[in-house]
Amino acid sequence: MKKLLFKVFAMALLVAPVLTGCNDDDDPRPDQDVLDNLELGIMQGTLQSDYTLSASKSYQLEGAFLVADGATLTIEPGTNILAKAGGTEVYVAVLMGGKIKINGTSNLPVVMASKDGKPGDWGGLTICGKAITSAGVNAEAEVGGFKYGGTDAADNSGNIDYLVIKGTGAQINDESQYNGVSFYAIGYGTTVNNLAVINGADDGVEFFGGSVKVTNLFLQNNEDDAIDWTEEWNGSVTNAYIEHTIEGFSTAFEGDKANNNPTFTNITAVSTTGGTALQFKSTSGGTITGLHLNGYDVDLDMKDGGNLSNVTIDGSAADGSLISGESSKYTLNSGKDSDPLDISGWTWIDADVVKVWPGTTLGGEVTGVWTLDASVAYTLDEALIIKDGASLAIPAGTKITADAGGTEIYVAVLMGGQIFINGTADQPVVMSSANGQPGDWGGLTICGKGITSAGVDASAEVGGFTYGGTDNDDDSGNVSYLVIKGTGAQINEESQYNGVSLYAVGSKTMLNNIAVINGADDGIEFFGGAAEVTNLYLENCEDDAVDWTEEWSGMVENTYILHEIDGFSTAFEGDKANANPTFKNVTAISQTGGIALQFKSTSGATITGLHLSGYDVDLDMKDNGNLSNVQIDGSDADATNQNVADKYYYTLDSGKDATPIDISGWNWIEADL
C-alpha cells in the first residue's frame, strides 16, 4: 500500500481497541463459532444446537464436524457438501443422542464428496445410536473412538433420504479405515432410503449391531466390502445394487461374528474383475431372497468354516459346491440368477458434488452451484454474472486478477443468486487488477430483494440489473475477508462502478471484513435494502468512501477510512430521504483536507464513536437539511456553520473526537495478488 509511513503513524495514534465482545451478563451459545462458520458455509467443530443446512449455500467440510447429543442437523434437498481431501481429519459424525436428517429427493439428492471423489480423500459419515450391539452398552467405535450402543432397538438417529457420498475411506491405521457410512448401533426407528456410496477406500456401508433397515442402496467401487456387518446386526437391506469394476476389492458382502440373521431382499452384485461375492466369517449368516450375481470368481466364502445352513437363499440353505482346491469357497448351484435389479430410474445416483470451476479464467453466466479452487490463480477476463437460483463459493485464499477492461469486467450477483466469499483473517480473498489502479475494472455488484424507494424490480445504474422487492431479510450469501482493488470503471458521464455495490441487499446477507482500495468511484454504496456490514476498510476511493441512497436502513460497525489523495468527494455521502442507517465506530482520516460527511436532500444517519482527522469540512448539509437529521452520540449534530457562500458547510464542535478504531490487527487488508 502507498505511504506506509503515514499509515503506521496513524495506527500508532489508535490507543484503545473497539469493544465488540459480550458483557458479563451475556450467555453466548457454546457452539456460536460453529454456527457462525455454518452461516459462512464452513463445517467444522461440534454442533450443539439444531441447525439446517440450506441448498442455497455451498458448504465446505474443512475438518471434523460432530453433531452432539441433543442436537439435530437437518440437510435440505439439493444441498452440496464439499469435503476437503484431508484424510482422517475430515468427517461427519453424529454422536449418541444426536440426529441427522438428510432430506434429499430423487430430483435433488444431497451430495457429500471430495472435489475429485477419490477413494480415501476423507472420512465419510458415522452415526452412533443407542440400539443393541454385542459390543455392549457404551462401546467404543473403531473410528473416532465414539461411544455407541444401548438397549433401545427402536432408537431413532434421524433419517437418510437420497444421499450420494463419494471419496471416503481415509486410513486410520493398519487395521482400520473410515467407511462411506458407518452405522453404530442404529435402531430401526432411523429410516434410510436411497443411499449411494461411490469410490470408497474401505467399505461402502458397515453395520455395527443395531437393527436399522435400508431401502435402495447403490454401492460402486468400494475397495474393501460393499456391505459389511458385525456385532449381531439384525436389520435388513431391500434393493441393493453393487458394482465392482476395479481390481483387488474384498467382497460384495462381508458378515462377521455371531449370526443374528439380517435379511436381504433383491440384491444384485456385478463384477467385471472377478473376486468374491459373499463372505461370512465366524458363524455369521443371513437370509437372502432375489439374489443376482454376475462376474465373480467365488460366489460364497464361508471363511471360518461356518455351516452353509447359516446362509438361507430363497427359503433354503445355500446350495453350493466347493471350488476345487478350496476349503471354504463355493460356487452357488442355484439361487444366484434372479432378475437383476432395475436401477434405470435411479438417476439420483449420478449426482455430483458442487462443480469446481474449470480452468483458470472466469466469466460468463453462472447457473447451478459452483465453487472456485483456492490453489488456482484465476483471471477475470469478462463479466461474471451469477444468475437467479445459482451460487458461487470462493474459498479462503483465492486470488482473482481482473483484466483492466473497464466496464466490461465485473462480478455481479443477480436477484435470487448468491455469492459466498469465505475468506479468513489469515487467508483473505483478493479481487484486483494487476496494477490495482483506479478504474481498471468494475468491481462487485450484488442485487437483492430488499426494500428500496426505487420500487420493486428497479433497474440498477450499473449493468441495468433488476433489483428491489419486499423482503429486507433477503439472503444473497456472504462476503467475508475480501480485499478488492482498482475498481470504479466509468460507465458514462454520470455513472461509474463502485468497489462494492449493494442493491436492495437484505440483512441476512453476511458482510464482514471488507477492504476497498484505490477505487475511481465509491468504496461501497448501498441502494436501499437493510444490509449490515462489520469491519470496513476504505482507502483512497476517489469519490465517496461510503455512499447510500434509496432509504437504505442498515448498519455499518467499525469503519476505517483513509484519504491520501487530492480531489476525492467525501468520506460519507447520504442521499434522498432519511431511513436512519446506523454507524458505530467510524474513523476517517484525511491527509489532503476535503469533506468528511455529506448529507443531501433530507438524508441523515445515527452515528456513535466518530473520529475525524484532517478534513477541511466536517459536515456538509448540501441541500440545507436539518442538523437534527444527523444524530451523533445520541444528540443532534453539534456544529457551527462555516459561512461559506452558497454552501452549508459545518465544523463539528463536539462528537468527532472518539478514540479512533484500532486496526493494527487488521493485517488482512495488506493482502495482494
CA distance 611 to 654: 10
Instruction: Give the phi and the psi of residue 651 in degrees, each rounded to 5.
Output: -105, 130
- Label residue 58 by pLDDT band (50, 70, 90): confident
Is residue 125 within 8 Å of 183, Cβ to Cβ?
A: no
Pick the range with the lowest mean pLDDT from 85-94, 342-351, 489-498: 489-498
Percent of the residues in the chain that have a pLDDT greater than 90, as a whole number: 85
Between the CA of residue 636 and those of 352, 554, 624, what are the distances in Å?
Answer: 58, 20, 15
Instruction: Give the residues across from 538 on adjacent strands.
Output: 516, 561
Q: Which helix (H) or strand (E) holds 544?
A: strand 544-549
Burial of 642 (0-12, 13-18, 19+ CB in 10 A): middle
CA distance 75 to 51: 9
Reduced 3-state DSSP string for 338-372:
CCCCCCCCCHHHHCCCCEECCCCEEEEEECCEEEC
Closest CA to 195 of 185, 205, 183: 205
The tens digit of pLDDT for each residue in 208-238 reads 999 999 999 999 999 999 999 999 999 999 9
**How many other C-beta atoms can be found within 10 angstroms of the C-beta atom of residue 636?**
14
Average pLDDT of every residue of the chain: 93
CA distance 151 to 432: 60
Catalogue all structural domains in the chain, each as residue range(s) with its CATH number.
47-332 (2.160.20.10), 421-661 (2.160.20)
Burial of 384 (0-12, 13-18, 19+ CB in 10 A): buried
Q: Are strands 72-75 and 91-94 parallel, antiparallel or unpaired?
A: unpaired
Is residue 665 within 8 Å of 18, Cβ to Cβ?
A: no
Q: Which amino acid is at 171?
A: Q
Burial of 8 (0-12, 13-18, 19+ CB in 10 A): exposed
Instruction: Report, as an integer, the average pLDDT of 35-44.
Output: 90
- Label residue 116 by pLDDT band (50, 70, 90): confident
Please count the residues of the chain.
Answer: 673
- Label residue 15 by pLDDT band (50, 70, 90): very low
CA distance 488 to 117: 41
Residues whose CB is less than 8 angstroms from the CB of residue 27 and which lie 6 or more positions away in sequence, other chains included: none
Q: Name the 3-class secondary structure at 316.
A: strand
* Per-residue DSSP letter, 661: P
Q: Which amino acid is at 96?
A: M
More confident residue, 242 or 173: 242
Q: Which helix (H) or strand (E) holds 10?
A: helix 4-12
- Cell numbers 495488506 label which residue? 670
- Label residue 4 by pLDDT band (50, 70, 90): very low
- Cell numbers 444473497 label which residue? 476
Is residue 293 within 8 Å of 336, Cβ to Cβ?
A: yes
Closest CA to 442 of 479, 481, 400, 478: 400
Q: Name the 3-class secondary structure at 668.
A: helix
Q: Please determine, for residue 516, whether its predicted confidence score (pLDDT) is greater than 90.
A: yes
Q: How far apart are the first and last CA of the chain?
A: 12
Q: Which amino acid is at 244?
A: H
CA distance 185 to 6: 64
The tens digit of pLDDT for each residue in 361-373 reads 999 999 878 889 8
Dihedral over Cα of 647, 652, 657, 658: its sign: negative
- Label residue 418 by pLDDT band (50, 70, 90): very high
CA distance 619 to 650: 5
Q: Please determine, for residue 17, whether its predicted confidence score (pLDDT) is greater than 50.
A: no
Instruction: Give the phi and the psi of residue 512 in degrees, each rounded to 5.
Output: -155, 145
Q: Please determine, for residue 41, whether its predicted confidence score (pLDDT) is greater than 90.
A: no
Dihedral over Cα of 141, 113, 48, 127: its sign: negative
- The torsion defined by the Cα of 460, 465, 468 and 472, in degrees rounded to 10, comes to -100
Grid cell listed for 310: 447359516
- Cell numbers 484424510 label which residue? 87
* Per-residue DSSP letter, 70: T
Closest CA to 525 of 481, 567, 574, 492: 574
Q: Please determine, for residue 424, whether its predicted confidence score (pLDDT) is greater than 50.
A: yes
CA distance 608 to 535: 15
CA distance 655 to 586: 11
Q: Please determine, for residue 324, whether its predicted confidence score (pLDDT) is greater than 60.
A: yes
pLDDT reported for residue 25 = 41
The tens digit of pLDDT for each residue in 245-265 reads 999 999 999 999 999 999 999
Instruction: Report, as an integer, the average pLDDT of 578-597.
Output: 98
Is residue 599 within 8 Å of 630, Cβ to Cβ?
A: yes
* Per-residue DSSP letter, 406: G
Q: Are strands 58-67 and 42-47 parallel, antiparallel or unpaired?
A: parallel
CA distance 603 to 187: 62
The tens digit of pLDDT for each residue in 166-223 reads 999 988 877 778 999 999 999 999 999 999 999 999 999 999 999 999 999 999 999 9
Closest CA to 90 of 146, 33, 168: 168
CA distance 295 to 616: 85
Q: Please determine, for residue 272, whether its predicted confidence score (pLDDT) is greater than 60.
A: yes
Instruction: Give the residues across from 400 on adjacent strands.
Output: 378, 431
Instruction: Give the phi and the psi of residue 11 in degrees, each rounded to 5.
Output: -65, -30
CA distance 523 to 533: 13
CA distance 669 to 436: 14
* Per-residue DSSP letter, 146: -
pLDDT reported for residue 28 = 61
